[in-house]
Chain A
Amino acid sequence: MTSDPSPASPDLRRPLGKDLLGLEELSPEQITLILDTAGPLKEISERTIKKVPALRGMTIVNLFFEPSTRTRISFEFAEKRLSADTVNVATAGSSVSKGETLVDTARNLEAMRIDMVVIRHDASGAARFLADRIESNVVNAGDGMHEHPTQGLLDLLTLRDRFGDLTGRRVCIVGDVLHSRVARSNLWGLRKLGAEVGICGPRSLLPNAIDSLGVQVFDRIEAAIEWAEALNILRLQLERMQAGYIPSLREYNRVFGVTRERLERAPRDLLIMHPGPMNRGVEIDSDVADGPHSVILDQVTNGVAVRMAVLYLLAGGRTAV
Chain B
Amino acid sequence: MSGKPTVVLDARSMARTLRRMADEVVELFGGPEHLVLVGIQRRGVQLADRIAEFIEEREGTAVPRGALDITLYRDDLQTIGPRPVVGKTDLPWQLDGMKVVIVDDVLYTGRTIRAAMDELADFGRPARIALAVLVDRGGRELPIHADIVGKTVQAAPHLRVDVGVVELDGEDAVTIVPRESQG
Interface residues in chain A, defined as those with a beta carbon under 8 Å from any beta carbon in chain B: 1-3, 5-9, 12-15, 33, 36-37, 40-41, 43-44, 47-49, 51-55, 82, 312-313, 315-319, 321
Contacts and interface: CB of A to CB of B under 8 A. Distances in A.
A12 B183 CA distance: 13
Nearest to A43: B89
Interface residues of B, number: 41
Interface of B: 40-44, 69-74, 77-82, 84-90, 104-106, 108-109, 111-112, 118-119, 122-123, 157, 160-161, 179, 182-183
Nearest to A319: B78
B42 A1 contact: yes
A32 to B, nearest CB: 11
Given A1-B70, A3-B108, A6-B182, A12 B89 contact: no
A108 to B, nearest CB: 24
Given A2-B106, A40-B87, A7 B161 contact: no
A55 B74 CA distance: 10
Contacts of A52: 72-73, 119, 122
Contacts of A49: 122-123
Contacts of B71: 54
B109 A315 contact: no
B81 A51 contact: no
B158 to A, nearest CB: 10
A48 B21 CA distance: 32
A321 B111 CA distance: 18
Contacts of B123: 47-49
A1 B40 contact: yes
Given A37-B82, A52-B72, A52-B73, 13 more contacts: A1-B41, A9-B183, A12-B84, A13-B82, A15-B84, A40-B69, A49-B123, A52-B119, A54-B72, A54-B77, A82-B72, A312-B72, A316-B78
Given A2-B105, A6-B179, A7-B183, A15 B81 contact: yes
Which 4 pairs, one residue from A and one from B, show the smallest C-beta to C-beta distance?
A13-B81, A316-B81, A6-B183, A52-B72
Contacts of B40: 1
A33 B84 contact: yes
Contacts of B88: 40, 43
Which of A1, A14, A36 is packed against the most chain B CB atoms within 10 Å? A1
Contacts of A36: 85
A14 B112 contact: no
Contacts of B108: 2-3
A117 B182 CA distance: 36
Contacts of B104: 1
Given A1-B41, A3-B112, A82-B72, A317 B81 contact: yes
B155 to A, nearest CB: 10
B82 A15 contact: yes
Contacts of A319: 78-79
Contacts of A82: 72
